[in-house]
Amino acid sequence: MNVRIAFVAVVMLFALANAQTQPIKHVVVLMQENRSFDHMMGFFNRLNPEINGLRGGESNLVDLADPASPFVTVTDDSAYVTDPDPGHYVSDVTYQEYGTYNETLVRPPAPMNGFADNYKNRVRGDPQDVMRCFSPETLPVMAALSSEFATFDRWFCSVPGPTMPNRYYFNSATSHGDAENLVFPMVVGYPQKTIYEQLDEAGLSWNSYFFELPTPLAFRGTRRSVRNFRHFTNFREDVLNGNLATFTHIDPLYGYIPGFSANDDHPNHDVSRGQQLMKDIYEILRAAPTWNSTLFIITYDEHGGFYDHVPAPMDVPNPDGRTSEEPFCDFTRLGPRVPTLMISPWIAPKTVVHKPNGPHATSEFEHSSLSATLKKMFNFPRFLTRRDAWAGTFEEVWSGLREPRADCPEKLPEVISYPKKGILNKNSPISSLQQQMVLIAASLTGDNETGSGWTALQGSIYIQRQVNKFFGRNMYPDNLLWDNCINTDSCE
Residue 230's CB: how many other CB atoms inside 10 A?
17
Rounded to whole angstroms, the Cα distance separating 37 from 52 reads 10
pLDDT digits (tens, 9 = 90+) for 328-360: 999 999 999 999 999 999 999 999 999 999 999
pLDDT digits (tens, 9 = 90+) for 429-487: 888 888 889 989 999 998 888 899 999 889 999 999 999 999 999 999 999 999 988 66
Is residue 404 within 8 A of residue 292, CB to CB? The reply is yes
pLDDT of residue 104: 83
**CA end-to-end span of the chain:** 58
Question: Is residue 1 over pLDDT 80?
Answer: no
Burial (CB count within 10 angstroms: exposed 0-12, middle 13-18, buried 19+), residue 62 = middle
Is residue 112 within 8 A of residue 308, CB to CB? The reply is yes
pTM: 0.93
Res. 139 pLDDT band, cuts 50 70 90 = very high
Rounded to whole angstroms, the Cα distance separating 167 from 173 reads 9
Q: Read off the pLDDT of each residue in 64-75 and give the average, rounded to a whole number.
A: 96
Q: Read off the pLDDT of each residue in 76-102 and give the average, rounded to a whole number.
A: 94
Among residues 446, 389, 350, 366, the alpha carbon closest in space to that of 154 is found at 366
Q: What are phi and psi of 20, to 5 degrees?
A: -80, -15
Over 233-282, what HEC string results?
HHHHHHHHCCCCCCEEEECCCCCEECCEECCCCCCCCCHHHHHHHHHHHH
pLDDT of residue 237: 97
pLDDT digits (tens, 9 = 90+) for 393-410: 999 999 889 999 999 999
Could you give the 3-state DSSP secondary structure of residue 342? strand
pLDDT of residue 10: 46
Q: What H or E segment, with its residue span, contains residue 155?
A: strand 155-156
HSE of 322, CA atoms in CB hemisphere, 13 A: 15
The structural domains of the chain, ordered by start, are 3-38+136-398 (3.40.720.10), 53-131 (no CATH)
Contacts with 115 (C-beta within 8 Å, 6 or more apart), sequence order: 60, 86, 96, 130, 131, 305, 306, 307
